[in-house]
Amino acid sequence: MASPAEDVSGTLDGKVAIVTGAARGIGAATVTHLCRLGARVAVSDRDGDGAHRLAELLVAEGHDAAGFVCDVSDRGSVEAMVADVAGRWGGLDLVDHNAAWTDFRTDLDATDVDLDTWDRVFRTNATGALHLVRAGVPLMEARGGGAFVFISSGSAAIGEHARVSYGVSKAALEQLARHVATRYGRHGIRCNVIAPGFVLTDSAARGVSEVGRIRLADQNPLGRLGTPEDIAHVVGFLLSDRAAFLTGQVIRVDGGLTIAPRLAGHDD
């Protein structure tokens, strides 16, 4: 028998949260969810227009949100954004590093990958998180603690024929999370990773054909693709005190795709 859904509204009341890459896709669903949990939310993105537009919608719904332009691959841009957020709301408690970038046309295999692509992917996906940690940890320490979530990918844990930069950068991000969890745990700071499976956002849809999407859904033990909300709900949990004894972990929010028997060559 289904148990009544737990009411989680208010679990982030009064917390100040930054979500990077928040103008669309999983990041947009995440800022919306964190607002509903009661957080004051910085909608941060390289796409400033998109960030401001979404923040205005959230404010119109009665939430406390604001848009910030920030390129996470640029240390100065991250430092300025974090300082602006802390200035606006008096501190910082929570960070979700969701922004990521790659280019399927140039992020190829190890012998053919474009090195400018490799650099940019790394600066965005992995070094961007380092900038956020450097700027965020002192502010979290000043509040007695805080929490980070980094959004990785199933690509960090499997062998793939292409997009070598993306997979390697996400694996680096996961190791950075284990470092942050270990180094700053005694300072009340937790750090966890979500590794999504295929989530139907506009950019993910561009990388996979309709036939590929049907096959991916069919291979999934739950028989469907992920939604941005599937990820957002787990971010909300990991950033809340309900996950107070959870740190340094990679949570695979993929409907079981990575343990699916069909990937191991079985039909059923």
Ligand X SMILES: NC(=O)c1ccc[n+]([C@@H]2O[C@H](COP(=O)([O-])OP(=O)(O)OC[C@H]3O[C@@H](n4cnc5c(N)ncnc54)[C@H](O)[C@@H]3O)[C@@H](O)[C@H]2O)c1
* Residues labelled catalytic: 166
Shortest Å distance, C-beta 78 to ligand X: 9
Name which position in 16, 23, 135, 156 contacts ligand X (CB under 6 A): 23
3-state SS, residue 30: helix
Q: Which is nearer to ligand X, 43 or 139 (CB)?
A: 43
Nearest to 155 by CA among 166, 145, 147: 166
* Contact status: 55 vs ligand X (CB under 6 A): no
Q: Which residues are 97's β-sheet partners?
A: 150
To the nearest 10 degrees (0 to 180), the angle between helices 25-36 and 48-60 is 30
Residues 93, 147 contacting (CB under 8 angstroms): yes
Provide φ and ψ at 191, rounded to 5°: -145, 120
Q: Taking CB positions, which residue lies at the least distance from ligand X?
A: 25
Backbone phi, then psi, for 157, in 5-degree steps? Answer: -120, 0
DSSP characters over 32-94: HHHHHTT-EEEEEES-HHHHHHHHHHHHHTT--EEEEE--TT-HHHHHHHHHHHHHHHSS--E
Residues 196-225 that bind ligand X (CB under 6 A): 196, 198-199, 201-204
3 class by beta-carbon count within 10 Å (0-12 exposed, 13-18 middle, 19+ buried):
exposed
To the nearest 5 percent, what fractions of the chain are helix, strand and coil? 50, 15, 35
Pick the stretch among 11-19, 45-53, 179-187, 257-265 that binds ligand X (CB under 6 A): 45-53
Residues of span 119-158 touching ligand X by CB under 6 A: 124, 151, 153
One residue of 33, 46, 63, 131 binding ligand X per CB under 6 A:
46
177-196 residues in contact with ligand X (CB under 6 A) are 196
3-state DSSP call for residue 145?
coil
Minimum distance of ligand X from residue 147's CB (angstroms): 17
Would you say 196 or 255 has its CB closer to ligand X?
196
Closer to ligand X by CB, 18 or 140: give it. Answer: 18
| Shortest reach from residue 120's CB to ligand X, in Å | 8
**Total of residues contacting ligand X (CB under 6 A):** 28
* 243 scored as a contact of ligand X (CB under 6 A): no
Q: Which lies closer to ligand X via its Cβ, residue 24 or residue 143?
A: 24
Q: DSSP letter at 139?
A: H
The correct pick among 63, 71, 118, 131 for binding ligand X (CB under 6 A) is 71
Shorter beta-carbon distance to ligand X: residue 21 or 38: 21
26 binds ligand X (CB under 6 A): yes
* Smallest gap from residue 254 Cβ to ligand X (A): 8
- 235 near ligand X, rule: CB under 6 A: no
CA distances to 3, 206, 229, 234 from 223, rounded to whole Å, are 23, 21, 17, 20
Please report whether residue 98 would count as binding ligand X according to CB under 6 A.
yes
Residues at the site binding ligand X, with contacts judged by CB under 6 A: 20-21, 23-27, 45-47, 70-73, 98-101, 124, 151, 153, 196, 198-199, 201-204
